[in-house]
Structure 1
Amino acid sequence: MESNYHTLKRNYNQLIVITHLTQLLTYITGFGGLVVPLIIWATQKDRVEEMDAHGKSILNFQLSILIYSIISIPLILVFGLGIITLILIAILAFVMPIVNAIKASNGELPSYPLSLNFVS
């Protein structure tokens, strides 16, 4: 019985890790980094322990990245700083899902910087 619990816990943990890593689909499809984690979170938040907290963090981060990117576009025309901002956003959006997937694999809660709180 104890073995089943640990196996289930490990499977849940792997799903949470995969949910963090699905954010990287944005670099392949252009939009999958928001849609796929949203679907996983919506379907698994009541079944998988800690999925709700991780899913909300992922959605808040992805929505924040989207807003920061939209704000950066006019800054390209006005100040030219939008290009630098978009590059920094792209780096942050690539690195933080990997960092938080590693944290999730260690049983830690995610931490996404500059994340606005849309879903609570």
Structure 2
Amino acid sequence: MKIMIVEDNEALAQTTGWVVESFGHDYCLQYDGKSALEQARDWRPQVVIMDIGLPGMDGYELCQHLRAEPALAETVFIAQSGRSDAEHRDRVEASGFHHSILKPANIESLQTLLSDIEASL
């Protein structure tokens, strides 16, 4: 699958990229919402894993913008955050995310989630 990773921590973004690549997927990295929005329109990822605490446009807002793009109608959106409280879960759902994972991501759980998504495509 084509997976876009949106994370402002460059080391974490690259590490996540290497992990999804080890699962057999192609990936690209973006470090802010505006750049992610621009690249997603052209690259058309099948999955977007994004941090919520992005500079400028946060992940909630970015997900809403990406979900509004017709070319991304089939894209699966995964929120990644250190938060798991009820307010965060409500905002994740309201923003249009399909899944949410806690940071740091458990590699086995991430692999299972991505395998399930791939099987559903």
Query: Is the pair's TM-score, using the shorter chain for normalization, greater than 0.5?
Result: no
Larger Rg belongs to: 1
- TM-score normalised according to structure 1 size: 0.30
- Relative to its length, the structure with more strand (as a share) is 2
More relative contact order, 1 or 2 (CA 8 Å, 6+ apart): 1
